[in-house]
A and B are shown apart, each in its own frame.
Chain A
Amino acid sequence: MKACVILLSFLLLMPASAEEGQPEITAVKAGKILTISGAPIADGIILIKDGKITDIGTGIEIPENAFVIDAGQKIVMPGLVDASAVPPVRGDLNEQSEEITPTFRISTALDSQSKALKRMVQTGITTLYVSPGLRNVIAGLGAVIKPTGKTPEEMIIKEDAALMVVMSMDSAYGNRIPRSQPPYNFYYRRPTTRMAIIWMLRKNFFDTQEYAKSNEKDDPDLEILASALDDKIPVRLNVRRAINIRTALKLAEEYDFQLILDECTEGYKVAKEIAEKKIPVILGPFYYYPRNLGQYEGRDINWNNAGILTKAGVKVALTSGAQTQSIDLLTAAAFAVRHGMPQDEALKAVTITPAEILGVVDKVGTLEKGKDADILILSGDPLKVTTRIEQVILNGKTVYKAERGRKL
């Protein structure tokens, strides 16, 4: 009897074992660590505490009670940053009742239950940009999020990361020209030609400049636009054709705002100019064949768009694009290399470069001391399509582990 009591109290007094995935310090050991910020580290160690990397290098002492993830001879790299991914939101990506909606924040429609998030994590994406749709000329504000958490607050790491402006014909699709009746709903007010789109942009930028000069502070739309023209929020312009890219470059100079080119299908034609102006490019989805998107959009393609831009000196980010079947970002990089992009540039294009363009490079994009512990453990070279993502660590916690021999 006494023995039972002693044993029981002993068991009760024993400290509860650490919850799986919630240790004090985690150490990741791997045969090769691709930091992206510098040279690869052979037989390296990463120490993680409170979701951040506290130390990284060779010959680092691992604390006694650390939880060790031994990746053997596998390759470790930073979690991928997708500058244009399937948005984990519900509902329409555009507020269609107006054509100029700078205050539209897609982050308010974030859905933590979205199936896209789980797929993203399993394909190695640990940071992504969520964008409003492309149906409005000035579409609204996007945010940078991580695929974790139950509420939008837990997901967002950068609110108002960019103002989406659409110069491609998406903002003109489906808009009808009234024939005999007066325009009775808002679809009729919207632009149907490129002229109209550019005119709307110019008008709004002009109004913003006037507004900024005056002392008014009460128009929320113009407030956002004024911030953009004041370089406080970058302007992400969606363009496909070379002539639109040129117009974008011109507008950026005229109104003096920080420009990011989005999609940029014909960027290869204007590579030198883009490089000269030091404008970063977030490439859209890759297509083998030309498509007909109306008004000559999508008809000229070059498989080596990424390579040509990179070789001209442009900062290029590769994306999975807002597709229903999310394309593996690493596969996108592998194919970019196949078509002519240098290997190290391709790896940067899915890690540090998008992090820089999105303005979150202080937190993600490389494996460095002080940054978020977003780590991928791969079965081999990241640019080989036979490589599998074995484990994904986000903010220091393992959020995905590929199972071997699991019943399918």
Chain B
Amino acid sequence: MKSKFYIALIAMFLMASIINASARAAPVRKKLAVKAGSIITISGADIKNGTILIEDGIIKAVGKNVEIPWDAFVIEAKDRVIMPGFVLAHTSSGLDRANENIPEVPFLSTFDSVDPVSFYFEDSLRDGVVAILVLPGNNTLLGGTGTVVRPHGLTVEDMLIKPYTGLKISLRPTGNTSRMGHMQRFRRYMSDLKDYLEEYEQRKADAEEEKKPFDEEIDPRKQAMVDLLNKKLTAFIYCDNAADVLKAIEIHEKHKFNTVLVLSPACYKAAPLIAQKKLPVILPSQLIIWETNEETNEEEMKVVPMIFYKAGVKFAFQTDTSQYGSRYLWYQAATAVRHGMKRTDALKSITLYPAQFIGVSDRLGTIQVGKEATFLFLTSDPLDAQAWVDKVMIAGEIVYEKEKDKRLEKLLEKPEEIQKPKDTD
């Protein structure tokens, strides 16, 4: 008698836990349909009251009158604006330290240093960023290679979108070197590398001639630079001022690298030259600078993105963690729009263009058939300072919901009443 009771009890318990488990597991659905109030595709015109069909994490259809399959899970988002997740083409945050002490370390990789639990990634996801190229910092000549990650996952492998992307070169002199010394160091490295490669090729040719097996590999410490020379990696060259841009262009033309320029605000002076060379640019986080006109002694405001925009340069924005807006990519785009940039171009500079610069535009950067279903559910227009990221979907899975964001809740909500102190004197 008693044993039956216990069996029933255990059975009920097991059933409950199974049901609970299945509810908590949040399964990745095979087919999804998102019905949105507004869809900003970036690749084409905005779609009002449209639908996005997703299958296995890939966009199957986008449009106004899309037929929704019977077995698709429907997400209602009539009061939301959907747009591709933001892409950040360059950062050195999220690492334990951005720079190694030795100037020439191209063999290092940020893959080994990305910290998945860093607040930086938590904030990035909260702010709508879905892909970040994490590169070494600005204080190493040849800093190492970068990694494209999504700000979601407990391990670097979970976060990984694309490894071995970009090689960071910084033209800022380090330690006590002057710019002369710094450039000479680079030239010497490249010269030594070329000598090494020549000798290597010679040995290879000799072995072939002698019909001997040749299994010598390229020195792993030099592999990254070789890949750079072979255009398998893109050089991300950081310039502190306009004079550095000239040097960067010299490097680009001499060694024929695929190059992206990472600029500081003072580099605006080189905008026409950069346009001429058709090099892509990653703008600094500080978009507005004030300079004193030497002759008139008057203060003049320089809007950096507008200078590049008018010169015809293609660029992407960066962010920082200072006050108010520059933390958000949409704010950087809004600042440019405020000063005259076309809205569509500004939005491209935080989605499609950075995706192109870091080589992930085949799957990210726009809402198009065939691309990854990775996009943001915004409460209103992205350039509206009142828009919040309500949900983030990565490859068909909702990975962030503002409703469930405890940290944000704490930062915005009224705290408990503090107990009134007893009268003291």
Contact = CB atoms under 8 A, between A and B. Distances in A.
A408 B302 contact: yes
B412 A303 contact: yes
B338 A386 contact: yes
B411 A340 contact: no
Contacts of A303: 411-412
B385 A118 contact: no
A335 interface: yes
Contact of B418 (A269, A286, A302): A269
A115 B289 CA distance: 13
Interface in A103-137: 115, 118-119, 122
Residue among B306, B323, B385 with the highest chain A CB neighbour number at 10 A: B385
B412 A302 contact: yes
B339 interface: yes
Interface residues of A, number: 39
Interface stretch (B28-36, B193-201, B212-220, B324-332): B324-332
B324 A327 contact: yes
Contact of B321 (A285, A288, A327): A288
B253 interface: no
Interface string B64-95: 00000000000000000000000000000000
A108 B331 CA distance: 39
A408 B299 contact: no
B301 A302 contact: no
Nearest to B417: A272
A176 interface: no
B218 to A, nearest CB: 44
A289 interface: yes
Given A303-B411, A386-B383, A288 B338 contact: no
B303 interface: yes
B328 to A, nearest CB: 10
Contacts of A271: 414
A192 interface: no
B324 A268 contact: no
B414 A384 contact: no
Nearest to B337: A386
A308 B418 CA distance: 14
A339 B302 CA distance: 29
17 contacts: A268-B415, A270-B418, A272-B417, A285-B323, A288-B327, A303-B411, A304-B414, A327-B324, A334-B385, A335-B324, A338-B386, A338-B388, A339-B412, A383-B386, A385-B334, A388-B339, A404-B340
The list of the 6 closest CB pairs from A to B, nearest first, reads A334-B385, A385-B334, A118-B299, A385-B385, A304-B412, A303-B411
Interface of B: 290, 292, 298-299, 301-303, 306-307, 310, 321, 323-325, 327, 331, 334-335, 337-340, 383-386, 388, 411-415, 417-418, 421
Given A246-B421, A287-B323, 6 more contacts: A119-B301, A286-B324, A288-B321, A327-B323, A385-B331, A408-B310
